[in-house]
Structures are given as structure tokens and as C-alpha cells.
Amino acid sequence: MTAANRAIQWISLFGLAALAANAVGQTQPGYPHKMIRVVAAAGAGGGVDVISRIVGQKLQERWGQGVVVENHPGGGGVVGSNIVAKAAADGHTLLTISISHAVIPSSHRNLPYDPVRDLTPITVLVNAPNILVAHPSLPAKSVKELIALAKSRPGEIYYSSTGNGSPAHLAMELFKLMTVVDLVHVPYRGTAPGFTDLIAGRVALSFRSLSVIVPHMKAGKLRALAAAGSRRLPAIPDVPTIAEAGVPGY
């Protein structure tokens, strides 16, 4: 596996649950003894949000204690992470975040919290590669056609992400680096605004999680060009990986 391939697997949606440091609540009898607060460091409707609500429901059923999920997008995960880092270290405030958690220390200066000291990782929830999708108005039906189009129109094709340093941002920047094309980044605060503009055709491209795009693919509102993982996904077997589609090593 190449370095680029390893990178894209980590950049893909990678749920990470974390709780305040020294989560003493985990070892106290009767845990949890009050409502659990799950802070999703992403906007409503995205992959992190969907996974957070599924896990929250299962935790509520298992523990018999209320679980509330709150969306706190912004800063590529910094806003939500800071809320959890500043919460009481009793195990009742949890964080769900993408792999941006691992990128934040390198992409942001003067963080209001210490990702290593203030947050304790619990588990990986899911590893789901993002899908490179295009608005149907873009005259490119494959990765090779996209590369050719981008080379003929440098700086004219816009792509959305859920913010600077987000998985979608880094995945597209890696794509740009490996294909030597000039695509323009339009960062949004959270999932919904950028996805709305993608569906409307105000931006042409994006990397998005499978759970979000499938209904829109079926409705003909989005075109899946390729998957960012190392193998095809069973849910969309006709969609090639980016490496298969013309970018070896991605």
C-alpha cells in the first residue's frame, strides 16, 4: 500500500469517540448516573452526525439513560472538541469527530485545548471512505474526464468541504497534488450549507460520505465519480476507486 493510499484511508470518515481526560466516570459505580451528552463536531446531516445518532440511540438502549446529541461544527472540529475538553471530566460528555482530530494540531495554531492531554480516545466507530461526487451539470463523467476538464479550465472549477482541514478538504487537496490540477476550495461551516450548494450546482465537486450521497445519486442529483478507499464499496459496486479510475497510488 502506498503512502498516498494509507493517507486517504485515514482522511476518509473515521469516527472517533473521545471523552474528557481522566474519564473517572467509567470506573465509578452506577455509571452513567445522568444524561449523556454527545457532541458531534460536525454539522447536521453529515456522516459524523448520522453515526453519532445511531451510536447515541444504541447507548441509550444499553444504559437505560438518556443520550442527547448536539451538533457543534466549526474550525474543522475545533469548536466541538473544545466544548468536550472544557466539560467536567466525569465521562458524561462525549465527542464524535472525524479524522480531522488527528490533523487539528498541525493545521491550527494556539488551540484552546490540548488534544492529547484534554481528550481521551475511546474507540474507532467507523472507517468509511469518502466518495468523489460531481453535480450533473459538470461535463465530466469519470475521473479521467475530470482531470482533463480541470487542466483545460484551471481555477474555474469549485469544490466544497466542511471546513479548512476537514477530511473532504484534505482528500481533494491530495487529489489536486497527485493530478496536478487547479481546483478552487470553498470551505463551509458544517455539512448542510456546502451540500446544499453542491446539489444546487453552485459548486461542482466535493468528497462526501456514502450515507449522505446515495439518495441524491439515485435521484440523479449527484454523480459519483470514484471512491477514495483501497477497494470498491459493496453499496456502490459500479463506482471505481480513484486509483482504478486513473490516479495510481491514491
Do 173 and 195 lie in one domain? The reply is yes
Do 105 and 160 lie in one domain? The reply is no
Give domain status of residue 7, yes or no.
no
Do 120 and 149 lie in one domain? The reply is no
Give domain status of residue 171, yes or no.
yes
Tell me the pTM.
Answer: 0.76
User: What pLDDT, on the 0 to 100 scale, is given for residue 29?
Assistant: 64
Name the residue among 40, 28, 41 with its Cα closest to residue 91. Answer: 28
Which secondary structure element, helix H or strand E, spans residue 59, and what is its range? helix 47-63
Do 113 and 86 lie in one domain? The reply is yes
What are the grid coordinates assigned to 123, written together? 474507540
Do 42 and 122 lie in one domain? The reply is yes
Do 189 and 210 lie in one domain? The reply is yes
Whole-number Å distance between alpha carbons of 241 and 228? 6
Give domain status of residue 177, yes or no.
yes
Whole-number Å distance between alpha carbons of 13 and 191? 13
> Which three-class secondary structure state does DSSP give residue 28?
coil
How many domains in the chain? Answer: 2
Question: Residue 217 pLDDT > 90, yes or no?
Answer: yes
Distance of CA 175 to the CA centre of its chain: 16
Region of residue 22 (left: phi > 0; alpha: psi -120 to 50; beta: else): left
Do 24 and 35 lie in one domain? The reply is yes
Do 42 and 88 lie in one domain? The reply is yes
CATH of the domain at 107: 3.40.190.150
Structural domain of 181 = 131-227
Question: Residue 19 pLDDT > 60, yes or no?
Answer: no
Whole-number Å distance between alpha carbons of 138 and 157? 9
Give domain status of residue 164, yes or no.
yes
> Which three-class secondary structure state does DSSP give residue 240?
coil
CA end-to-end span of the chain: 10
Do 17 and 77 lie in one domain? The reply is yes
Do 98 and 139 lie in one domain? The reply is no
CATH of the domain at 172: 3.40.190.10
Query: What are the angstrom distances between the C-alpha of 140 and each of 120, 153, 171, 228, 229?
Result: 44, 12, 19, 18, 21
Do 140 and 80 lie in one domain? The reply is no
Domain end call among 128, 159, 193: 128
Region of residue 91 (left: phi > 0; alpha: psi -120 to 50; beta: else): left
In percent, how much of the chain has pLDDT > 70?
88
Give Cβ neighbours of residue 54 (< 8 Å, ≥ 6 apart).
Answer: none
List pLDDT tens digits, range 92-147.
999 999 888 888 888 888 999 998 888 888 888 887 778 999 999 999 999 999 99
Do 20 and 93 lie in one domain? The reply is yes
